[in-house]
Amino acid sequence: MTHLTRVDEYLHAVPLSGATGEQIGPFTLFRTTTIWPYYARPLPGGSVVEQADVERVRERCAELDLPLSFEWVVETCPSLGPAAEAAGLTVVEYPLLVLERADFKPVETAARCEILPADVELLRQARAVANVGFSTPGTDVGEAGAAERDAHEVSDETAAALLERAEAGVSVTAAAFGDDGMLASGVHQPVGTASEIVGVATLPSARRQGLGAAVTSCLVEHALANGVELILLSAQNDAVAAVYERVGFHRIGHAGGAE
């Protein structure tokens, strides 16, 4: 089985920890059972997708009052991007990377990096770090830091959902700490022998210190120690992909998104 096939099958399974699947032509529409919206994905195996298939999903999402969005692996379903564009959707592509045990290059940092316990306040703070970090995209150093983290409100509903996923073992969170407390965070989501690293973010004021790579390294180490054999992620852009390549990830293709 190729990396692309394994990644495609993992990405089709991972939403089921928080959603149910409904088949619509060549797609599975994942209908959320938690507080976060999901998306539709083409069935693994290289289905050919046409504009009419996209429109069927649009109609069903309208019936269910769901946001219309798609995610896929570009190389395993190259027809979806053009079909989505023909249907008037905005299509984006991101670098898709994987890592196996033999490729892992642990990253050392002066910051303390650790896997967080299923503690609601720590998980709430990790989400605040991520939200502040993603509010200023890219890798450049910025002004937002600990004060913005502490002022950022994460709702009780979100915190409870994060705790539920942590207790179920479907989301594992890591964080890096410095003199100003938690500075970076990220998550991996194991399903069988594969896991995806998502949501790695650093407070803008703490960037360019290797904290994103260190959090990623911590997550990889935990995943490999707990039965995971293949780790994947998609990067925001080439500059962010380069951070992950320091840990041993390499590119295998592109993740597609449309909405």
In a domain, residue 138? The reply is yes
User: Which tokens is 159 given?
Assistant: 């915190």
Query: Which of the listed residues 56, 89, 122 is the one where a domain comes to its end?
Result: 89
On whether both 63 and 121 belong to a single domain, the answer is: no
Burial 58-77 (b: 16+ CB within 10 A, else e): eebbeeeebebbbbbbbbbb
Q: Determine the pLDDT at residue 37.
A: 93
Place of tokens 């967080």: 116
Residues 194-247 have pLDDT tens digits of 999 999 999 999 999 999 999 999 999 999 999 999 999 999 999 889 989 999
CATH of the domain at 227: 3.40.630.30
Q: What is the pLDDT of residue 108?
A: 86
122 and 85 share a domain?
A: no
DSSP β-bridge partners for residue 112: 177
* Positions in the chain whose pLDDT score sits under 50: none
Same domain for 115 and 78, yes or no, is no
The answer to whether the CB of 116 falls within 8 A of the CB of 175 is: yes
Q: Give the pLDDT score at 1.
A: 64
Q: By residue range, what is the domain housing residue 61?
A: 3-89
In a domain, 96, yes or no: no
Distances (CA, A) of 224 to 42, 98, 217, 221: 29, 13, 11, 5
- Element of type H or E holding 7: helix 3-13
In-domain check, residue 53: yes
Statement to judge: residues 137 and 167 lie in one domain: yes
Domain-terminating residue out of 27, 58, 89: 89
| Residues 125 and 229 placed together within one structural domain of the fold | yes
Judge if 146 and 25 occupy the same domain.
no
Residue 95 resides in a domain: no
Quote the pTM value: 0.94
CA 204/CA 8 separation, integer angstroms: 32
Tokens standing for residue 248: 């041993």
Together in a domain, 105 and 200: yes
pLDDT at position 144 is 95
237 shares a domain with 145: yes
Residue 47 confidence (pLDDT): 81
Q: What is the pLDDT of residue 45?
A: 86
Residues 70 and 140 in one domain: no
Q: Do 81 and 53 share a domain, yes or no?
A: yes
Tokens of 82: 């053009």
- Surface-to-core class of residue 181, CB atoms within 10 Å of its CB (0-12 exposed, 13-18 middle, 19+ buried): middle
- End-of-domain residue from the set 37, 56, 89: 89
Shared domain for 128 and 151, answered yes or no, is yes
Q: Look at residue 257 and tell me if it is in a domain.
A: no
The four Cα atoms 14, 32, 235, 113 give a dihedral, to 10 degrees, of -70
Residue type, 135: S
- What is the total count of domains within the chain? 2
**Domain identity same for 83 and 110:** no
Q: pLDDT value at position 58? A: 98
